[in-house]
Amino acid sequence: MQKIGHFIDGKHVEGTSGRFADVYNPATGEIQAQVALASQAEMDAAIANAAAAQRGWAATNPQRRARVMMKFVDLLNRDMDKLAEALSREHGKTLPDAKGDVIRGLEVAEFCIGAPHHLKGEFSEGAGPGIDMYSMRQPLGVVAGITPFNFPAMIPMWKFCPAIACGNSFILKPSERDPSVPIMLAELMIEAGLPAGVLNVVNGDKSAVDAICDAETIQAVGFVGSTPIAQYVYSRSTANGKRAQCFGGAKNHMIIMPDADLDQAADALVGAGYGAAGERCMAVSVAVPVGETTANALIEKLAPKVEALKIGPYTAGNDVDFGPLVTKEALGRVRGLVDQGVKEGASLVVDGRDFSMQGYEDGFFMGGCLFDNVTRDMDIYKTEIFGPVLSVVRAETYEEALDLPLSHEYGNGTAIFTRDGDTARDFASRINIGMVGINVPIPVPLAYHTFGGWKKSGFGDLNQHGPDGFKFYTRTKTVTSRWPSGLKDGAEFVIPTM
């Protein structure tokens, strides 16, 4: 049985706690490895190592730090297939989707090559008599990231790339469900020229999370996961004086107006709703057609597309649309929510609960499910299902449709499909959601913009990547400078007004 340890001080380290978690192959249901769960002593050692390495890294000029990122991007491209295969083997998503996972992280690394520009301060000459003022952005020190199972390449890179480019050292606590790729990324950073100890990967469970939240040396924490845990990490970290950006659950609505291209909308819903088996925080899980005619026509187009979805193991390559869920527990939870939706009176148009694949009967597979006539009081509407389930909530008017995402507790992403510019503009202006798509089903911003949800989807003042990433991982120092030549003697007791 393969044992997966930690990556500390630029090398692999075996776990010493004696505690392990099983890592499954979701397609077969078999245990393929065990990952070590760090003790407090192991976490303390990693943090001390990161603190020692950070001082020299912070003194490295930003252009040289950017060159490490540049080389890292080259290595990601070189090892793309290797990374995707390892990712798919532990997560279950298809190889093309796994490559997309890596690429969206790579794009943030590319953005971080511009660190010398993003870290520039401001300068004001002659702010007063003989006085100049300037500001500079300096690293925080040791920072940490706690990342989820559903994007084991992308989200770690969203965290550690800007942090490291800013001159911090980083402690990464990835999901114990698919731990191999984060360690592979750390290996590539060392190969790219990153000094040992600047990036450390420590596997663990709740005790490791608590250690990160409580460690006095760690100055900032980034988290992505469920809303209850996001709130927990945010509260515990900020109570200990840390910066925190914590992103939680989602319930992403897509409104379909009567003038929309329904073929385009149906294709968008199927891809955004069922890709990666729905295990995406930006998955569209609620379709809101406006008007009975629109709703009936949409269901007529959706049902055969959902029934025709190709499901299978990642080894099938491009021949499958999505793979299994990540664990048996995740599969049971999603099936249970579908059962609950039926009990509550929603119409299960397509039922994928009993999907089974010959030769993979023990895998965590589930077919696509499509609900119609879902109402806002049902659990399947209120809860983030995180599975291949799409709910159709019918609305009579645009205002009724708009009120659904406006009133929902989550505010991660949303979309509208329409040919009318006035409607689209009104929607984008009024909606209280962090990321909005107009005829775009998964509005994930590119690396040079920022990613983050509102309401109970996000906790903290600054978002992930883009300019916010550099702001989050640095603090601003402002210097007021005057040299003594020509100054008159004597104390001044009035506040300077220049």
Interatomic CA distance for residues 201 and 49, integer angstroms: 12
Find, among 212, 198, 203, the residue nearest to 68 by Cα: 198
Q: What are the φ and ψ backbone dihedral angles of 461, each rounded to 5 degrees?
A: -85, -20
Interatomic CA distance for residues 280 and 265, integer angstroms: 19
- Contact between 299 and 350 (Cβ < 8 Å): no
Residues in CB range of 59: below 8 A, 6 or more apart: none
- Contact between 178 and 90 (Cβ < 8 Å): yes
Q: For this structure, is 112 an active site residue?
A: no
Rounded to 5°, the CA angle 69-73-74 comes to 120
- Contact between 370 and 300 (Cβ < 8 Å): no
- Cα 108 to Cα 60, 147, 165, 174: the distances in Å are 21, 16, 11, 18
Asked whether the CA dihedral 449, 455, 459, 462 is positive or negative, the reply is positive
Interatomic CA distance for residues 276 and 289, integer angstroms: 24
Find, among 464, 322, 364, 253, the residue nearest to 30 by Cα: 364
- Contact between 460 and 246 (Cβ < 8 Å): yes
Interatomic CA distance for residues 72 and 266, integer angstroms: 38
- Contact between 107 and 140 (Cβ < 8 Å): no
Find, among 476, 472, 475, the residue nearest to 158 by Cα: 472
Residue of 161, 213, 281, 369 with catalytic role? 281
- Cα 122 to Cα 141, 356, 477: the distances in Å are 22, 61, 10
Instruction: Give the relative orientation of helices 262-274 and 292-307 as an angle to the nearest 10 degrees.
Output: 50
- The 10 Å Cβ neighbour count of residue 308 is 11
Residues facing 136 on adjacent strands: 477
End-to-end CA distance of the chain: 71
- Contact between 341 and 380 (Cβ < 8 Å): yes
* Residue in the block written with tokens 């996001």: 230
Task: State the pairing for strand pair 169-173/142-146.
Answer: parallel
Positions marked active-site: 281
